């Protein structure tokens, strides 16, 4: 769905949460095939029984892809992704865990190097069924301003 929002329309503190998605063994096997990551943490059930997590765990990159993908239901034609900062995986994701993503608008600042754009930061937290954070990152958006700033006529840069 398309939702057009200018920089000025974003409100710091606005929160929304996606619906859930349960992680399956198929998810892990398919992601291993796509990524080439066949480490035993994801693929070897017997080896994992000897490790601290006790069972296979999902790839962090898979958790990121699913968590971010769940939050991509609305497309803002006035914004583009500038990237992600502070990516962390504080807890493992296991087969059978149900994930959802909480998105919080945590910061917004004018973009001095790009007149007419502002920078919006969305904190994204992927939660399991126990509301434990299993992934944290900050998504940086560049968003079109409603009105481009007027240059200061006293500036020597004109």
> Chain centroid to CA 68: how far?
4
Q: Is residue 33 domain-resident?
A: yes
How big is the CA angle at 107 (ends 104 and 113), to the nearest 5 degrees?
135
Task: Give residue 158's pLDDT band: very low, low, confident or very high (50, 70, 90).
Answer: very low
* β-bridge pairing 98-110 and 79-88: unpaired
Predicted local distance difference test score (pLDDT) of residue 151: 58
Contacts 24+ apart (CB under 8 A), 36-41: 37/61
The per-residue pLDDT of the chain, averaged, comes to 94
Residue 119 has which token pair? 């920078």
How big is the CA angle at 132 (ends 31 and 140), to the nearest 5 degrees?
65
At 11 the three-state DSSP class reads coil
Predicted local distance difference test score (pLDDT) of residue 43: 96
Q: Is residue 125 domain-resident?
A: yes
Q: Is residue 78 domain-resident?
A: yes
- The total domain count for the chain is 1
pLDDT, tens digit (0-9, with 9 covering 90-100), for 76-93 = 999 999 999 999 999 999
How far is residue 54's CA from residue 30's CA, in Å, rounded to a whole number? 21
Q: Is residue 151 domain-resident?
A: no
With a pLDDT cut of 70, the percent of the chain lying above it is: 93
Q: Is residue 154 domain-resident?
A: no
Q: Is residue 153 domain-resident?
A: no
Q: Is residue 56 domain-resident?
A: yes
SS3 content of the chain, % helix, strand, coil (to 5): 20, 35, 45
Is residue 157 pLDDT above 70, yes or no?
no
Q: Is residue 90 domain-resident?
A: yes
Q: Residues near 151 by Cβ (< 8 Å), separated by ≥ 6?
A: 115, 157, 158
pTM, whole model, 2 decimals? 0.89
CATH number at residue 78: 3.10.129.10
User: What mean pLDDT comes out for the span 130-137?
Assistant: 98
Domain that holds residue 139: 7-144
């Amino acid at each position: 769905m398309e939702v057009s929002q200018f920089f000025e329309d974003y409100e710091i503190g606005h929160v929304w949460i996606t619906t859930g998605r349960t992680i399956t063994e198929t998810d892990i096997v398919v992601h291993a095939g796509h990524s080439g990551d066949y480490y035993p943490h994801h693929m070897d059930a017997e080896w994992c029984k000897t490790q601290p997590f006790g069972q296979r765990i999902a790839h962090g990159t898979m958790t990121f892809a699913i968590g971010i993908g769940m939050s991509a239901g609305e497309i803002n034609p006035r914004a583009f992704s500038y990237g992600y900062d502070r990516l962390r995986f504080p807890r493992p994701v296991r087969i059978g865990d149900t994930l959802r993503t909480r998105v919080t608008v945590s910061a917004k600042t004018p973009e001095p190097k790009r007149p007419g754009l502002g920078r919006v930061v969305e904190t994204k937290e992927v939660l399991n069924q126990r509301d434990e954070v299993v992934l944290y990152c900050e998504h940086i958006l560049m968003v079109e301003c409603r009105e481009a700033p007027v240059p200061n006529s006293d500036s020597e840069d004109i």
